[in-house]
Amino acid sequence: MSRLLTAILKAKNSPRPSAPEDVLARYIEDPDRIACTLAEAGGEVIGFQSLKRARAGNPYGVTPGWGIIGTYVDANHNGRGIGRRLFDVSHRAAIEAGLPAIDASIGHANTGGQAYYEAMGFRNYGETPSAVMKKFTLS
């Protein structure tokens, strides 16, 4: 996961941490984690999707009780349905967790990410100086 995230963040010139211990803390051991689903091919992680429950005061400004989702897929595997399969798992996990909605905040320049979430059924509900905010309604 760290290798994949590092490559994606490097391509976007993002300073966000992606070392193994950061990935472990942020996606695996996070107490708000609902699901973290991997896509693998040939023993390599080629994608993952994280779903967390938003707490009051979360760093993203997401409504408490909603889900917060993040999706990362190796660019060499885009367009093969990996994101859709990852979201199928996250969608079921969100229903089981009783979430009313899921937020995906995507950088303005990340048009591919915006298109992906739109295709999954997310709709724009707001904007920040750095991101488009999309919402998937569950209830």
Q: What is the mean pLDDT of the chain?
A: 95
pLDDT of residue 105: 96
Read off the pLDDT band of 139 (50, 70, 90). Answer: confident
The model's pTM is 0.93
Is pLDDT of 69 > 90? Answer: yes
pLDDT of residue 102: 98
Length, in residues, of the chain: 139
Read off the pLDDT band of 59 (50, 70, 90). Answer: confident
Is pLDDT of 103 > 90? Answer: yes
The CATH code of the domain at 2-137 is: 3.40.630.30
Give the whole-angstrom CA distance, residue 94 versus residue 66. Answer: 9
Mean pLDDT in residue range 49-57: 97
pLDDT of residue 9: 92
Cβ(105)–Cβ(132) below 8 Å: yes
